[in-house]
Amino acid sequence: MSAASGIWVLRWQRLRGHRAGMASLVLLALLLLFVLADFPLEAITGIDPNEADLFARFDPPSWAHPLGMDEAGRDVLLRLMVGGQVSLLVGLLATLLGGVIGIAVGVAAGFWGGRLDALLMRFTDGMIALPLLPLLIVLGAVDLTKIGFSSEFAHSGAAGFWRIVVIIALVDWTAIARLVRASTMQIRERDYIRAARAAGAGSWDIIATHILPNIATPIIVAFTLTVGRVILFESVLSFLGFGVVPPTPSWGNMLNNAQELVTTAPLLAVYPGALIFLVVMAVNFLGDGLQHAFDPRSEQQE
């Protein structure tokens, strides 16, 4: 198996040479530790990030509360951590879900071509043409009870969380679909696909065995870049009030009241946004580094 691991070692080395990419990897690891630190901290100090103490509104930093208290008397540091968990989790899940949709559409269009391709591409182009934020807002404003969910579920935190994952995925799959379609079309013409047919492979065999593994590299890069975009979407939606709803914190909705805060407690407006900025920067740099590491031009030995 030396050759199999060989190519990944090569890629890892190339990534290590890309300074921004490596720095981002480290930064992301640190951020992950930061958001997960909430669990031990809560256990040790016993502070509940959702518990409001109106007497403690806007308290300045202290030993017990290193970043002070927010507008509802909740510990800012802990909320930043929990909010990070939510934002990052939404980012990952929405990326995965949107990615699955995008891969399905892209492979179908690229592999079978013809009328299916024309239809899917019209649809994809139509979606790309839409202004996304207004669409997301409308989707976010949908009253779940009207489509059959119970009132209890519709107002639960879980519903709010999954709603935003689903709507972002529904709206953001187009970039991956296009990429997958282009890659699939390229591969479809190769002789080894023909050979597989001659060997008796049906369409699904070919897609699973030959096409998907060969488009894995551009997909990985695309996924990484998507995560950044998705995190930004979630933060905007939550900020506008259509995403993650309080009391569940997310970096976006922590800025919800920030406009009023700007005059009274400006720092509260700085922290969450700065964290979003950092994560998205890091993810984008990582994507750049991965692109560099996977560069097919240096990989082709032909």
Using CB under 8 A as the criterion, which residues of the chain lie in contact with another protein when the complex forms? 1, 3-4, 122, 125-126, 128-135, 137-139, 141-143, 146-147, 190-192, 194-201, 205, 209-210, 213-214, 228, 232, 235-236, 239-241, 252, 255, 258-259, 262-263, 266, 269-270, 272-274, 276-277, 280-281, 284-285, 301-302
Minimum distance of another protein from residue 151's CB (angstroms): 11
Instruction: Compare residues 17 and 64 and give the one whose CB is closer to another protein.
Output: 17
Minimum distance of another protein from residue 124's CB (angstroms): 11
Minimum distance of another protein from residue 91's CB (angstroms): 13
Instruction: Compare residues 40 and 200 and give the one whose CB is closer to another protein.
Output: 200
Instruction: Compare residues 23 and 37 and give the one whose CB is closer to another protein.
Output: 23
| Residue 144, C-beta contacts closer than 8 angstroms, at least 6 positions apart | 153, 154, 159, 163
Q: What secondary structure letter does DSSP report for 75?
A: B
Let me know: does 293 contact 11? Beta carbons within 8 Å. Answer: yes
Minimum distance of another protein from residue 132's CB (angstroms): 5
Instruction: Compare residues 41 and 182 and give the one whose CB is closer to another protein.
Output: 182
Residue type (1 letter), 259: Q
Distance CA 151, CA 155 (A): 6
DSSP 151-215: HHHHTSHHHHHHHHHHHHHHHH-HHHHHHHHHHHHHHHTSHHHHHHHHTT--HHHHIIIIIHHHT
Instruction: Compare residues 42 and 288 and give the one whose CB is closer to another protein.
Output: 288
Cβ neighbours, 10 Å, residue 146: 8
